[in-house]
């Protein structure tokens, strides 16, 4: 087992550090350098013709990636909802042959997700899975499969697979738009250049992160809040899930604007707030973070250097200046590192948290 950790103390840290490679593998060969079109192996041009709506079904971290993807799809002009797979049997929006149901699942074996996928198929939807495991049940049940190529993930806490799923869904949004719209959004050169530069910039985030120092400063707090807006919201949810999973401390993620609608009552000097800034309506997120700070909460800003949030922030986790579609993924790397270091300081069994399994094969 030690050999498999490649010199790291835990699989989780190894897998966090593998993201420059796993992200490169997710994108490799999928963007035509000539024209910026998204090519998805045997899903040739026109595969998604006739698709009117998309439903993403998933659980846990994969659900957060699905939420990320649903925002990207909606922004590409495709009507999309993300549904928790374990709610699907009683809460699913209606489907027909113009509906594409995408099961997002690292393992391809999550019972809740498989059950939603099977139900959607039975009801006449077209189906696709975005998964990490070739030959998994999801890949066999869904009509089509797209593999995120992240490599094996051993740590129970999903890390590199979240970012690969999210990137895959960003690519897929562009591709479905190209297949279904007469005037799809341009594959802006800027976005494509940013995608190409992601592995190196992730490497920089990993090499220069201040997450250990931040974790050291705050790891004996009472509760931890994560806030973000737009694509920063699923990142906040994921930051909180990771934190509670491996530290056993209470953590919650909120849409930044929701803080004032209730959760603010919980805020004290003992509840650090990690605020994710993705470059969209940052001034509103900053106002929300300031409201928490006024009640005594330390604010850790996850934002680029020179950002206005740093005028008030008590701590800083730096992300590169980038397109808002990708900023959240850099922020997510920083939050993964905070969770990891906090759990390490608390001496938790990081790779195998109590009560959890890597793949949940019962409903």
Check residue 93 and report its DSSP letter. Answer: P
Residue selected from 157, 286, 297, 303 as contacting ligand AGP according to rule CB under 6 A: 157
* Strand ranges for the chain from DSSP E: 53-58, 79-84, 99-105, 126-131, 144-147, 224-228, 251-255, 273-276, 299-303, 315-318
Piece of the chain touching ligand AGP by CB under 6 A; list 10-18, 56-64, 203-211, 297-305: 56-64
Asked if residue 360 binds ligand AGP (CB under 6 A), the reply is: yes
List binders of ligand AGP among 263-322 (CB under 6 A).
Answer: none
x/- contact string, 232-261, with ligand AGP (CB under 6 A)? -------------x----------------
Q: Tell me the C-alpha distance between 323 and 55, whole Å.
A: 25
Residue selected from 22, 47, 62, 256 as contacting ligand AGP according to rule CB under 6 A: 62
Piece of the chain touching ligand AGP by CB under 6 A; list 33-41, 60-68, 71-79, 218-226: 60-68
Asked if residue 51 binds ligand AGP (CB under 6 A), the reply is: no
x/- contact string, 69-88, with ligand AGP (CB under 6 A)? --------------------
Residues 6+ apart with CB under 8 A from 218: 224, 272, 298, 300, 315, 342
Asked if residue 180 binds ligand AGP (CB under 6 A), the reply is: no
User: For the chain, how big is the Rg over CA atoms in Å?
Assistant: 20
Whichever of 61 and 293 has its CB closer to ligand AGP, that residue is 61
Crossing angle (nearest 10°) for helices 189-208 and 19-27: 160
Whichever of 173 and 350 has its CB closer to ligand AGP, that residue is 350
Q: Tell me the C-alpha distance between 253 and 225, whole Å.
A: 6
Asked if residue 129 binds ligand AGP (CB under 6 A), the reply is: no
The SS3 assignment for 334 reads: helix
358 belongs to the catalytic site: yes
Q: Tell me the C-alpha distance between 355 and 98, whole Å.
A: 40
Asked if residue 22 binds ligand AGP (CB under 6 A), the reply is: no
Strand partners, 100: 54, 126
Least distance CB 167 / ligand AGP (angstroms): 15
Whichever of 47 and 107 has its CB closer to ligand AGP, that residue is 107
Q: CB-hemisphere CA count at 13 Å for 21?
A: 8
Report the interface residues with ligand AGP, using CB under 6 A: 59-62, 105-107, 110, 113, 156-158, 245, 359-360
What residues act catalytically? 358
């Amino acid at each position: 087992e030690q050999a498999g950790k490649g010199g790291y103390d835990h699989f989780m840290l190894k897998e966090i550090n593998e993201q420059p490679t796993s992200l490169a593998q997710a994108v490799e060969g999928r963007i035509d350098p000539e024209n910026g079109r998204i090519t998805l192996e045997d899903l040739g041009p026109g595969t998604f013709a006739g698709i009117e709506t998309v439903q993403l079904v998933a659980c846990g971290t994969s659900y957060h990636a699905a939420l990320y993807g649903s925002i990207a799809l909606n922004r590409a002009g495709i009507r999309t909802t993300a549904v928790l797979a374990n709610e699907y049997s009683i809460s699913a929006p209606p489907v027909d042959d113009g509906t594409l149901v995408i099961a997002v699942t690292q393992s391809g074996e999550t019972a809740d997700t498989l059950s939603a996928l099977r139900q959607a198929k039975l009801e006449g939807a077209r189906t696709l899975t975005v998964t990490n495991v070739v030959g998994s049940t999801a890949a066999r049940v869904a009509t089509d499969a797209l593999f995120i190529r992240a490599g094996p993930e051993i740590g129970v806490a999903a890390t590199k697979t979240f970012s690969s799923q999210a990137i895959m869904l960003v690519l897929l949004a562009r591709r479905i738009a190209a297949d279904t719209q007469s005037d799809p959004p341009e594959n802006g050169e800027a976005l494509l250049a940013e995608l190409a530069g992601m592995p190196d910039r992730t490497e920089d985030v990993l090499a220069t992160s201040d997450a250990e120092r931040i974790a050291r400063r705050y790891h004996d707090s009472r509760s931890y809040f994560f806030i973000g807006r737009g694509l920063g919201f699923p990142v906040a949810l994921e930051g909180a899930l990771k934190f509670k999973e491996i530290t056993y401390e209470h953590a919650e993620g909120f849409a930044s604007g929701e803080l004032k609608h209730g959760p603010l009552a919980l805020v004290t000097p003992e509840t650090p707030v990690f605020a994710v800034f993705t470059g969209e309506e940052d001034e509103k997120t900053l106002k929300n973070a300031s409201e928490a700070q006024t009640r005594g909460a330390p604010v850790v800003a996850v934002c680029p250097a020179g950002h206005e949030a740093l005028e008030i922030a008590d701590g800083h986790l730096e992300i590169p200046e980038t397109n808002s579609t990708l900023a959240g993924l850099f922020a997510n790397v920083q939050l993964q590192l905070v969770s990891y270091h906090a759990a390490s300081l608390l001496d938790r069994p990081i790779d195998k948290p109590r009560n959890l399994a890597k793949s949940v094969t019962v409903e």
